Copies of this chain bind each other. A is one copy, B any other.
Amino acid sequence: MQWIDYVGLFGAFLSSVTFVPQVYKAWQTRSTGDLSYWMLLILLGNVSTWLFYGIVKKDLAIIIANAIILSLALILLYFKITFKSKPS
């Protein structure tokens, strides 16, 4: 592996954990009113596409990163549907 491939792996790692704090915050506050439904739906389409791309290309970093993001996005969508926004 060249040094730039390690940069890519670091990027894949950061991508994987991006939504962890958002899932945690939504879980703690039970409030998801400010989250955009469309963002979550496009995110699901986006990571599903990359997951498919990774599987066809047999690229394990892309597969693992997007499988993690897909799981987090599904959890966020579930929270968005389940937790009603706090009255303002």
Contacts and interface: CB of A to CB of B under 8 A. Distances in A.
A26 to B, nearest CB: 7
A71 interface: no
Given A18-B42, A21-B42, A22-B35, A49 B4 contact: no
B35 A33 contact: no
Contacts of A14: 42, 45-46, 49
Interface SS of chain A: helix
Task: Give the size range of A's interface with the partner.
Answer: 35 or more
A21 B38 contact: yes
9 contacts: A7-B56, A10-B49, A20-B39, A24-B36, A25-B34, A25-B36, A32-B34, A33-B34, A34-B35
